[in-house]
Structure 1
Amino acid sequence: MGLHAAPRHHRPRSLLLPLGLMLCAVLLGVPRADGAPVSADACRTASTTMPRGDCGPFWQVVAENFNGDSVPLGSFSDCDHDAETSGAYCAGLTGSYRDNWWAYPTGWPDTATDRGRDVGGVYHPEDTVSVGPDASGDGVMRIRMFRPADGGPVHSAAVLPRAVMDMAYGKFSARIRVVKPATGYKSAWLHYGDGCETDFPEGNWDDGFAAFQHPCGGGDQDYFPGADDWTQWHTVSTEWTPGQVRFFVDGKQIGSDTRGVADQPLSWVLQNESALEGPGAAPGSSAELDITWVAAYAYGWK
């Protein structure tokens, strides 16, 4: 539905500036005059709790706060079934986690290994991914990557919510924190395929993170700084609609792009792996990312 201006004589001039400032606050994600947060994303999320329900043109298909059953190490195993399709599953999982989650199978090389880095990694979801309460009692998905003491490859982890695999457009949000940073570990959560790639958040865990948009068919990527420190809790969101992708950190839009935006089904990959830049992970080192909730949405009306 379009936005239509009211006749000028229906709006006193004294209201124009305050209304304009309120609109800017919503668009830019800055605090209101009363100090309450204002979010610029479609859900207008103003708290740190997981959003529930549909938001504008997005309808929710994933809402996971990890407060249910625990998933011990070893459960994300035997994942090489219907790999990289919406029917993929890990036979080691049970119940709702088997229904709702998949991981890159043990033995797949990570990006650093594919690129010939001196220190690369291999996906090992069975000994890197678990679910359970943290010290506060809040449920989290733990991504604990490590490099064996003998100097072998990093054990990497990439997990995927099955409901949004092979899906065109949507909204993808999570609340995350690196609870144990170390050199040589990174995330690059992404949608990619057929010459298209969107990465957010991406960055080494001992540094900050940003968003990167690679136009379909080639061309220079766009870069949008996100946050300086992974060790603080952040809510990250990507909104992907026809012809546009937008990125948000803690409700503030950090960038948008319209060049070469993908229009085909892609999967949301929560990819965590060995670093592509800087020193590699030291033998015997480890690092951990916690995810306290994940929410994802399909685009368009039901």
Structure 2
Amino acid sequence: MPTADLPGWRHVFAEDFTEGNVPLGGFPGPVYSSRWSENYADGTPDTAAQQQPKGARTSGYYPSKVLSVHDGVLDMYLHSENGVAMGAAPSPKLDGASQRPYNSLVYGRYSVRFKADALAGFKLAWLLWPDSKQWPQDGEIDFPEGDLSKVIYAAVHGVEAGEHRSDVFRPAQPYGDWHIATTEWRADGIEFFLDGKSLGISTRFIPNKPMHYILQTESCSPTCPLPETNGHVLLDWVAIWART
């Protein structure tokens, strides 16, 4: 896990989940509560469920049934119960923040080492979301993103000619193995790195207002995943830098 400052970047957060185990239903617990939040309570609709009528929702965030810590990793156990697909969206806290947004920055570098089982119908959308909640006007940055049975990609969202537009970078790399994904959000562009290799730089939509980081892990749509689909996303470490 990187812990040093880098040229142009000041290291502000590091987590490698080695300070103790937390059973399913206990995260963040006393050990990690100063550095992590569940972000959404059990039953909060995920992105797919927000498109459904309230009484017909088939997916949501359920951190008490998804998150645990063991063997030096944060384990996200993705599965369904009683017809509801369950994910979670934890957030790191900077400087022990006690209120949302927990890790607000203007420009930042975010790096994660993770491994995701190839689970059709579940996806990652680990993202930077505007504190203003004004979307897409104030932007959105996603990496890694994508259906876990397909490939990893990165995306930047914004407005162009009055319409929602996006830049997407596709390295043709599947999930299923360990990877390091790094996002550099700078004033001159947003650059994505997968396992140390640059995927490219987006200069079309560069947010310049505060954003916060959420490890959003959820279902893809109301019709998937299949009820029997289950597996794990393992997070080995997270490191964050602020722009100097």
Tell me the TM-score range normalised by the shorter chain: 0.7 to 0.9
Q: Tell me if the contact between 1:216 and 1:262 (Cα under 8 Å) persists in the aligned partners.
A: no
Q: Which residue in 2 is equivalent to 1:211?
A: 154
**2-structure distance, mates of 1:284, 1:57:** 47
Deviation at 1:66, TM superposition (A): 1.4
User: How many positions carry a matched residue from both structures?
Assistant: 226
Q: Say yes or no: does 1:146 pair with 2:79.
A: yes
What does 1:254-269 correspond to in 2, within 5 Å?
254-269=199-214
Q: Say yes or no: does 1:280 pair with 2:221.
A: no
Deviation at 1:285, TM superposition (A): 2.5
Deviation at 1:209, TM superposition (A): 1.0
Q: Which residue in 2 is equivalent to 1:247?
A: 192
Deviation at 1:271, TM superposition (A): 0.5
Deviation readout 1:128-174 (Å, 9 max, x if unpaired): 011111xxxxx1111111111x32x2111101111162211110000
- Given the superposition, is the C-alpha separation of residues 185 and 240 from structure 1 closer, same or farther in structure 2, using an over 3 Å criterion? same
Q: Say yes or no: does 1:112 pair with 2:48.
A: yes
The alignment's TM-score, normalised by the length of structure 2, stands at: 0.86
Larger Cα-atom Rg: 1
Q: Tell me if the contact between 2:15 and 2:237 (Cα under 8 Å) persists in the aligned partners.
A: yes
What does 1:20-35 correspond to in 2, within 5 Å?
none
Q: Which residue in 2 is equivalent to 1:99?
A: 34
Gaps of 5+ in 1: 1-49, 77-91, 134-138
Deviation at 1:249, TM superposition (A): 0.2
Q: 1:162 aligns with which of 85, 93, 103?
A: 93
State the percentage of identical aligned residues. Answer: 32
**2-structure distance, mates of 1:220, 1:281:** 27
Deviation at 1:127, TM superposition (A): 1.3
Q: Which residue in 2 is equivalent to 1:188?
A: 125
Q: 1:236 aligns with which of 168, 176, 181?
A: 181
Q: Which residue in 1 is equivalent to 2:65?
A: 127
What does 1:38-77 correspond to in 2, within 5 Å?
50-76=1-27
Q: 1:173 aligns with which of 111, 127, 130?
A: 111
**2-structure distance, mates of 1:256, 1:116:** 35
Q: Which residue in 2 is equivalent to 1:198?
A: 141
Deviation at 1:182, TM superposition (A): 2.2
Deviation at 1:202, TM superposition (A): 0.5
Secondary structure of the corresponding residue to residue 261 of structure 1: coil
Deviation at 1:287, TM superposition (A): 2.2
Structure with the higher strand share, 1 or 2: 2
Residue 238 of structure 2 aligns with an amino acid whose one-letter code is V
Q: Which residue in 1 is equivalent to 2:234?
A: 290
Gaps of 5+ in 2: 95-101
Secondary structure of the corresponding residue to residue 14 of structure 2: strand
Residue 124 of structure 2 aligns with an amino acid whose one-letter code is S
- RMSD between aligned residues: 1.9
Residue 187 of structure 2 aligns with an amino acid whose one-letter code is P
Q: Which portions of structure 1, spanning 4 or more consecutive aligned residues, are displaced by more than 3 angstroms?
A: 117-120, 216-219
Secondary structure of the corresponding residue to residue 221 of structure 1: strand
Q: Tell me if the contact between 1:203 and 1:210 (Cα under 8 Å) persists in the aligned partners.
A: yes
